[in-house]
Chain A
């Protein structure tokens, strides 16, 4: 199978304006028109370029605040780049800090419908996948239970199950991989390898060396918004 570029990140820079005067009301803005705080810009990503091909599992590593999550959000389309461009080929599903819109006061079934809808699935598609999602999560006995009664681990399993069943061609995982018990870790590991094997790609942001070495074909190391290394996992010092 010919490899296609699933993700193209070309010369991407992302900056944020910092300072307390960033969030002002109408009157405060009017009063400050003549006395503006100088803009303080922080570049979180600087001229970042790389490609991810179908079949690849890419790891992204770096210290806290190095720009890993910003990179993932930019690929997911949550942030728009200030410079450069991001091109994605296929459906992107991002699981960033496990926030997928789960509502505590809804049951597991209702949450599956809600979150899959946020990921762009139609009601019929969700009905078709409902049982697979529940079976994968291993939470069959809690189908009609409101999830405020779930432990954090159960919520993580549910979120992961939903994400991988939403037909991702590109799966973005931010610090959420290998959650739950040993069985679930094995299942989730296999599922991301399956996504790559069927022509998709996966990007994993993690601080855990073992995960990166176990699953990734390639690793990007980011330091203060700049890619400092792009190579095989074995060559990167974590």
Chain B
């Protein structure tokens, strides 16, 4: 019989330490801040406001509940962007000393980033819920959103594992990823819809964010079940990202301390 006690204990340790590190970082980030959670909302609010002002009339006319459509895109992409960009710095810059001195589960560092950004995302979701209420749309969809969020967190965790460990070996991943994420932002239907644009649709079939955004908008804003194809794509990219991330991180982590 397979003994699951050891791997389960390891997962428990990673989760426990991940939460402690996330809590610490959250405290440090808010230290001396009188505005508190307002800072978390400032970036998405400004981006949302600006995009709504610029594109609201042109692109928004053909999209139902455009402000909600736009805000959902902005906050989900913000979660993905913040977590993955931060993960490119965590091993090679932010935690070098402790990695070279203590043998602890390195995965916790990456997990803590995802948890910390999840906190921020939660506040953004509160803002989103207020907007939903303003548009007289049922808040029940948000409960189903947690199902998508579960896959989304695993997906982000997988991407972050890959990026953080690769950065130890390829020092400019941080710059490349910052650039790539900008391109992805433009290529993902955040402030526009891709209906009728065949080339863009084909491109987005390879874009994991497309599946997560479409599923979330269908469930939360339009109160309809997402297509089977969209759900399958979401699960496929989550599994791919998570398995590949864990695999590559496990191979590379043994040499982290000596490469820095």
A142 interface hit (Cβ, 8 Å): no
Give every chain A residue within 8 A of B16 (Cβ-Cβ). 117, 122-123
User: Which of B129-137, B165-173, B232-240 contacts the other chain?
Assistant: B165-173
Q: C-beta contact mask, A94-113 vs B, less than 8 Å → 1, else 0?
A: 10110111010110001001
Q: Which 9 A-B pairs have the closest CB atoms?
A: A25-B172, A77-B103, A99-B101, A117-B20, A96-B101, A101-B98, A99-B97, A78-B257, A80-B254
10 new A-B contacts, CB < 8 A, other than A25-B173, A106-B28, A118-B17, are: A22-B259, A24-B170, A25-B171, A76-B103, A78-B257, A97-B101, A99-B97, A110-B27, A114-B24, A123-B20
Given contacts A27-B172, A106-B27, A110-B24, contact A120 B13 (CB under 8 A): yes
Shortest distance from the beta carbon of B99 to any chain A beta carbon, whole Å: 8
Give every chain A residue within 8 A of B255 (Cβ-Cβ). 80
The winner among A16, A25, A122 for most chain B CB atoms within 10 A is A25
Bound CA span A22–B99, Å:
19
Give every chain A residue within 8 A of B99 (Cβ-Cβ). 78
B-side interface residues, number (CB < 8 Å): 27
B2 interface hit (Cβ, 8 Å): no
Give every chain A residue within 8 A of B98 (Cβ-Cβ). 99-101, 118
Cβ-defined contact, A118 with B258, below 8 A: no
Shortest distance from the beta carbon of A79 to any chain B beta carbon, whole Å: 6
Bound CA span A23–B101, Å:
21
B102 interface hit (Cβ, 8 Å): yes
Shortest distance from the beta carbon of B100 to any chain A beta carbon, whole Å: 6
Bound CA span A97–B100, Å:
10
Bound CA span A16–B13, Å:
30
Shortest distance from the beta carbon of B33 to any chain A beta carbon, whole Å: 12
Interface residues of B (CB under 8 A from A): 13, 16-17, 20-21, 24, 27-28, 31, 97-104, 170-173, 176, 254-255, 257-259
Q: C-beta contact mask, A1-36 vs B, less than 8 Å → 1, else 0?
A: 000000000000000100000111111010000000
Bound CA span A80–B252, Å:
12
Shortest distance from the beta carbon of A73 to any chain B beta carbon, whole Å: 7
Interface residues of A (CB under 8 A from B): 16, 22-27, 29, 73, 76-80, 92, 94, 96-97, 99-101, 103, 105-106, 110, 113-114, 117-120, 122-123
Cβ-defined contact, A94 with B27, below 8 A: no
List 13 contacting pairs A-B, 8 Å CB cutoff, sorted by A.
A26-B173, A79-B258, A80-B254, A96-B101, A97-B101, A100-B101, A101-B97, A101-B98, A105-B28, A114-B20, A117-B16, A122-B16, A123-B20
Bound CA span A165–B51, Å:
54
Bound CA span A94–B98, Å:
11
Cβ-defined contact, A118 with B104, below 8 A: yes
Shortest distance from the beta carbon of A80 to any chain B beta carbon, whole Å: 5
Shortest distance from the beta carbon of B162 to any chain A beta carbon, whole Å: 14
Bound CA span A118–B27, Å:
17
Bound CA span A25–B24, Å:
31
Bound CA span A119–B97, Å:
15
Cβ-defined contact, B102 with A94, below 8 A: yes
Shortest distance from the beta carbon of B94 to any chain A beta carbon, whole Å: 11
Cβ-defined contact, A73 with B170, below 8 A: no
A77, A78, A110: the one contacting B100 at CB < 8 Å is A78
Give every chain A residue within 8 A of B258 (Cβ-Cβ). 16, 79
Shortest distance from the beta carbon of B181 to any chain A beta carbon, whole Å: 16
Bound CA span A78–B103, Å:
5
Shortest distance from the beta carbon of B180 to any chain A beta carbon, whole Å: 11
Shortest distance from the beta carbon of B97 to any chain A beta carbon, whole Å: 4
The winner among B102, B172, B254, B258 for most chain A CB atoms within 10 A is B102
Give every chain A residue within 8 A of B176 (Cβ-Cβ). 26
Cβ-defined contact, A73 with B104, below 8 A: no
Shortest distance from the beta carbon of A82 to any chain B beta carbon, whole Å: 10
Cβ-defined contact, A119 with B28, below 8 A: no
Bound CA span A106–B28, Å:
7
Give every chain A residue within 8 A of B31 (Cβ-Cβ). 105
Shortest distance from the beta carbon of B256 to any chain A beta carbon, whole Å: 9
Shortest distance from the beta carbon of A100 to any chain B beta carbon, whole Å: 7
Cβ-defined contact, A94 with B103, below 8 A: yes
Give every chain A residue within 8 A of B21 (Cβ-Cβ). 114, 117
Given contacts A27-B172, A78-B103, contact A103 B24 (CB under 8 A): yes
